[in-house]
Structure 1
Amino acid sequence: MSLSSAIGAISTFNECVTFWQWARSAISSLHSQWSGSQEQELQGRVLQLESGLQVLRDTLPAMHDLINKAEWRSHDDAVAKLLPSLKDAVFDAEDLIDEFRWYEKKVQAEGNASQSPFIDFFDTVIQGSFNKLSVVQSRLNHLSVQLEKMELRGVAQRFDTLVRPETTSLLIETKIFGRDKELKQVLEFLNVPINLKRKRATSSVNASTSTSASNHVNSESGPPVLVIGGIGGVGKTTLAQLICSHQPVRSHFKKIIWICASDDFDVKRLTKKVIQSCTGKEAKTDNLDSLQHALSNHVSNKRLLIVLDDVWDDALKENGQCWKRFCAPFRSVQEGSAMLVTTRCSNVSEGVRTMEPVILEGLQDTIFWNFFKSCAFGSEGSNNDPELECIGRSILPKLKGSPLAAKTLGCILSMDLQASHWNFILESELWELKQKETDILPALRLSYMYLPYYLKRCFAFCAVYPKDYKFQKEHLAELWAVEGFVEPESGVPIQSIGCQYFEELVARSFFQKVSGGYVIHDLLHDMAQKVSEHDCFILRNKSDFDKVPPNVRHLLIHPVGDIDHSNLLSLCKYKKLRTLLCDEVFNEKKNPIMGSWCTELLHMRVMSCLYTKKLPDNIGNWKHLRYLQISGPFSLKIPSTFCWLYNLQILYARESKLQILARDFGKLIGLQKFETQKLTLNSENQLGPGIRLLKNLKFRGALEIANVGILSNHHAAEAELKNMIYLEELKLNIQNREVVEVLQPPISLKSLFLQNYGGSSLPSWFQPQNLPSLESLQIESCGGPESMSLNEIPAFLSLVDMTIKW
């Protein structure tokens, strides 16, 4: 069938409410091209496609939940094997749904009078049968059935005892390295005589700590709470066990109660455990009131040390009432009692502590080296193989002072005392090494496991950045939003929700605030790379190209070695790529690479490319693209196909000068934020739609609007330049006074250039109170104004540069 003779009929379509109504109307309007049975068949296929996509949309939430449950059972080899396939199938489904959103936006942008939407839809979807839908749905169904056979549907989202065994107060380690300072801090808090070197502490120390402790003990609030915090594997539990085994502590308190809280902070369960610890007998009743009264009686007027080991943020549920309910029976304890809480969650620390917490960092270098030697060689002795010791010292920095990391690597190294084995460990990434469930990365993975699913996706994405990368909250929130990781909330900007996500991860200690931004602890970064090993990858050298996962979704090119043209071209085989962050400089010889990417990598959502001098003509192929960052002090003419990026939300070209045809710019209906050094809107055909779009943007930078009398004052008014609070520079090359009058700039404007203005007087908004930040003023070739009152210019108090020509 030929469409060319029937295209004119499309212009007669009435505006349809939905994309699918539009598609059915398109087929009906071209009914002369088909027989009745052919038209009926096409309508049936459209209906089937619409129904199938809705089923797929309805399926996705259940699939996300299944991924979450599978991650809780990822220590099971069979589940771990299926998990990457399940994630990959879900990502494929998301891409498929997203592709249809592009068609919907194309109809919205092009309008019913356009031929383009139907041609694309007809050729790609209907004529091409578009069997991807059934393939994706079938794969999801198959994987779901496989996981159901493993009884995954009803799995409890709690830590398996295999990966998080219950702790006790008994000290497991035969020797403790370091921690004298922290031990002293805790003993001072407990008001216990400090005798670390078997010498009686001075009275001044005892006096100060006694006063400090007594200030926090009263019958209304219960015993004071000291938190021992730090990331997994840093030694929090070991320090708590050391305290409990310390003889002066045991003598000081009537009883020490140790409770392993772990990830299920159930008040009734924990109260029963405390009663059993006090009495040696299991509580029979399930009535919480009876349990709490019984516990209150058992602890009344006794000086107790209560240790809650491994508390997670579910202790703060119900707006903190859960924690208060648990603590209520302890109000009857004797003055001098105390509570220790160990946690890796900083929000737990803030929610339960009554004084400054003790935060454990990695062990100091000398102490850590001695501990590492004892793990790797079986002793601290210095008579070990000098070559191995040299390699060991090179391995040490990647462990960041973590005792559990030292144990993990020490165990792996001790299995083979050959230099070749030790060098292999040195050259390997920690996350690539196979580890037991009690080793460092599985221990850190518990922090990840306990995250809500929406935060898991956000944090795992961070593995695409190198270690020590300084994250900016707003920037990362933008990327999470465009990647589809942020769940919309009615009336709240989606990037604001992304910032909330970031703060939640900060509260859970996944990010650490440093000067200039936030960083992820190296060991947590290793853990992030482990949980996202099939999805994220960093390319540094040529050899890394052989290690890229086949279904990689997010890729960073961060060269420290030689990466050539052929290497970059080889990325075209990773068809499912969504994110490409390039630190590589693209010179003119490498321009064809980006063109090849636009042909082959058709699921791209985020593209960040440094020093690009040219955008390829086929950039319109990136139907999924939402975020584009280009940089370099160049003048870029945007190709006409750029207007096909209907999903584009954020465009950064901070150092570039862009020339955009306004008729194309107006089709970017998804664009929300746009920063450039200078934007020129030309007057070819339709300036109105382009300038009208400006009012919906967080446009930052310089804007130039030029026309030859085409722009109407109605369209100019729709731009609402006055509300563009981020606009810093404005150049108006417009003759019509009425148009210029309605293009009043915002009060934040710093630079104004008025050219070829034909009005008899300057616009009414040219007043100091309307432009209080104006620093630079240039008026050129403005023959219209009969007079200018230069006496008023000094009233522009910020003005430092003024030029008047012709």
Structure 2
Amino acid sequence: MEILMTVIMGEIANRSISFLIDKCSSAPKNQDERLHDLQRLLLRVNVIVEEAEGRDITNKAMLYQLNMLRKEMYRGYFIMDNFRSQANNEEKNSEDGNVSHHFTPSKLNPAKRLFFSTSDNAHGKRELQQSLYNLNNVIVDVSEFKAFLRNYPPLYRQPYSMHLFLDKSMFGRQMEMERILNFLMLPEPSAPPITKRVAVLPIVGVANTGKSTLVAHVCNNERVRNHFGKIVFITENDLKDRGLINLKDRDVVLQPNSPLNGNGQVLAIIEFSEDIDEAAWRSCLACATCLGSVVKIIITSRSEKITRFGTTEALVLNLLPLEAYWYFFKVLTFGSADPKDQPRLESVALDICKSISGSFLNAHIFSSVLRADLSTTHWCMVQATLRGIMTRNACLSYECCVNRKNPVYVRGRVTNDLFAIYPSTEISSDETVPETTLPELLLGGVRCEGKFEVLALKSRIAPYKNYTNTCEMLTPRSTKAKRHQKPR
């Protein structure tokens, strides 16, 4: 009993000392100290994330922990950049002679300038404190993660700049990709030889969230290409043009050097923009089973109704959170340059990012437009153009635009012509693309009459699709005829 009491008293003493140390070390800090701590923690987390992304991790628990690290890193960078952007706007307003209700920003200490410019932003302070708390927690819990990380082989042997990597790779879908790989690699239960075993994974999500790109990256994975003897791609145009499809006549991706080619393993990729009926689905299913005894099918669509065809839980691709989207857009836009060295440009880029949040297509389009000219005048002109588009159109949120049928109305900055831009369409990489680009239409002096096609984006990552828009120059007569319509 005496020994037990001694142990208990010793434990109480140790906890009391730890509490006092924590209490002293957690003395209230001002804003510049918190921002400095945030920057230091983000640097540590960034090193861990970049090292982990350079290794072929297959453990689910480690991938989940890595995903948590990414989310907290994106959130921390967004909060820090948002504070810096607010401070830059306050300083610009002060230089322009606008009335400000904050203290005069310090021109000597950027961190203190952030403190004064956001002193009344209680919500921002809470977000900053919460980010610090979360980052400290994930770093404490990551020691085992770093130890196990050494057991996984590296993916890249040579240095690779982050902006070049993100410009030519899939971003923010690591967990989803591993989920698909697990589905494809999972062995099917044994069945009689006459039984066709078919497993179906539905992938749903709104337009331009990267469904086709994600599937293309999965198909290029070495494990997948060595596991399946045939990989077949089917689109809704195949059903419309050919009716019942005979997949034996389709072009397939073969792995002639793989010893598994003769095992009858087949992967079918079926892409539909909208829903398909039961008859069309049965046609696809019947033809797919003709190719082998074991068939895996991935079906992608914008419609959630396709989930009824799945033999496993559907994978839903949601829009990226704003914090992750800003990290992606910032890296694409600034490249190897440090945004902190150009606070005015960073502030403009953050404002543009908040307006177009969610779309990979928009991110690539606007980042390419901004990279064309790194002057403040050009970036402010792009910002003003985007604001004009949003003002002219009653609803331009991403969720509303991706499925819209009506055009978006924009006015050229140079020619002042009014254009109607219809929803983008995808064309394959081997089709002829228009010479006129969408950025040239918005910012340049391009003059086209009637309806014409413009190139929105040439994708540099698989499946290398090009995106075009049909545009129409509105004459004074047609503008008058459309005046009663409410732009959407």
Would you say same fold, with TM above 0.5? Answer: no
| Greater RCO (Cα-Cα under 8 Å, separation 6 or more) | 2
More helix by proportion, 1 or 2?
A: 2
| Bigger Cα Rg | 1
TM-score by length of 1: 0.27
